[in-house]
Amino acid sequence: MRHSLVVCFIAIVAFATIGAQKAGCVKEICPARERYHCCGSCIQRTCALEDDTTCPDVCYKGCYCKQGYVRKYAPDGPCIRQDKCPRTIPTRPPRK
C-alpha cells in the first residue's frame, strides 16, 4: 500500500512538472520565414555557420529560421533561403 502511494506521488509530480514546462512557453509572433521555439539551440544557423554547433543542454526561447532558411548574418539578421546566401558572407548588417 505504501509503495503504491509513493509511485502515485512520483507520477503526479512528474506530470505536473511536464505540464508546467509546456504552460510556461508563451509563443510569440515571429517575422516571415521564422517560427518560435520554446526550446531552441544556443546558436542559429547562418550563411557563415551552416553546421549545428554543440550546445549545452539548455533551452533557448526565441524566433528561429524555418527549415531550409538560415540567417543572412548573425545574430539577428533576416532569414533567407540557404541557397541564396551571398558568396561573400556578411558577419553583420551593413552600416547606414
6 inside domain: no
Rounded Cα distance between 42 and 88, Å, is 25
CATH number, position 69: 2.10.25.10
Domain range spanning residue 43? 27-91
Q: Dump pLDDT digits (tens) for 76-88.
A: 899 999 999 987 6
Distances (CA, A) of 50 to 7, 59, 78: 46, 20, 15
20 inside domain: no
Helix H or strand E encompassing 69? strand 69-71
pTM: 0.62
Residue with cell 554547433: 53
Identity at 12, one-letter amino acid code: I
What total of structural domains would you count in the chain? 1
13 inside domain: no
Q: What is the DSSP letter of 82?
A: G
Q: Dump pLDDT digits (tens) for 7-63.
A: 334 444 344 344 444 557 888 999 999 999 999 988 888 988 766 667 788 889 999
85 inside domain: yes
- Strands, E, within the chain: which ranges? 34-40, 60-65, 69-71, 79-81
79 inside domain: yes
